[in-house]
Amino acid sequence: MLTVVEGILLCFATSESLLGVLGNGFILHETCIDQVRQKKCSKIGFILAGLAISRICVIGVLISDGYLKLLSPHMVASDAHITGVAYLWTIFSHISTWFATSLNLFYLLKIANFSHYTFLCLKRRINTMFTLLLGCLFISWSISFPQIMKMVNDKLQHRNTSWEFHFLKSEFIINHILLNLGIFFFFMMTIIIYFLLIISLWRHNRQMKLNVLGLNNLNTGVHVKAIKVLISFLILFISHFIGVFIEMLSFYISQNKLMLIIGLTIACMYPCCHSFILILANSQLKHASLRALKQLKCYEKGKGSGQHGRLSEK
């Protein structure tokens, strides 16, 4: 039985997950409509659609696993659950991070302005960069999947003893790091992209007096918007994995429900909040969201006036 505080936090985590599905579903819907309207699949459209789908899957894995740990802890100890959740988490979490890193790289190559030969070469070969990132994704999976099998084998070997105690005391931290080693590489790439954008903005502002003022202000605004999106991504991304770690640690060490729900709440913030940040940062998605809100408001007004009319007739 949950306490009042645990129930409130669980409702908050559930609301976060629903908002995350709604926000990412909206991005997916608008991106697909735009691709059909243009009759072609653009890079940014593919990245946004893939990011939205993968984040919806991440939310699904997080919230379903959290509810199972709270309501049916005996099912969590089963081999099928441990293996299934580990594989689903590794697949969708790595794919989501890959798409997010690709989006950050796309921002860098489209916004930043460097005259260095290496940067110009990368800008001309953007497809090659995405292919290399895809190769890094498969390498991260090749590291994580054997680690999952090792975790399952350890559980089977220590079935008659306290597997949770053995697993936590000797290998929990190491296994968690190895499972997310590939994600750490993408995270470091995002930090590098962030600093390159800052350098590009600084150099741009230093040369402002040599160019047209209006154009410079516009370019500066684009730089600042991209940096804000990257800062929000970094903060939410770090908090996301802190929350996942707290959730796993609380269940396997002390089975503290309050700590588990807190971890779940923190972990759900990233796929929820960052999707709305992307909507606000993208002018096309922002205008589409405003149109949707206006249509919803008009629908509610029309429904209300219709009901009022029927009452008047009576």
Give pLDDT tens digits for 284-303. Answer: 888 888 888 787 777 666 66
Give pLDDT tens digits for 181-217. Answer: 778 888 888 888 888 888 877 777 676 655 655 455 5
Q: Which pair of structure tokens corresponds to residue 274? A: 């960052």
| 192 φ, ψ (degrees, to nearest 5) | -60, -45
pLDDT of 60 reads 92
pTM score? 0.83
Does 148 score more than 60 pLDDT? yes
Please, what are the domains in the chain? 4-282 (1.20.1070.10)
pLDDT of 51 reads 92
39: region left, alpha or beta (phi > 0 left; psi from -120 to 50 alpha) = left
For residues 133 and 185, the answer to whether their CB atoms sit within 8 Å is no
Q: Which pair of structure tokens corresponds to residue 83? A: 């293996």
pLDDT of 161 reads 46
- Highest mean pLDDT out of 80-89, 97-106, 167-176, 293-302: 97-106
Give pLDDT tens digits for 34-55. Answer: 888 887 778 888 899 999 999 9
pLDDT of 172 reads 62
pLDDT of 231 reads 85
3-state SS, 75-86, equals HHCCHHHHHHHH
Q: Which pair of structure tokens corresponds to residue 147? A: 């680690």
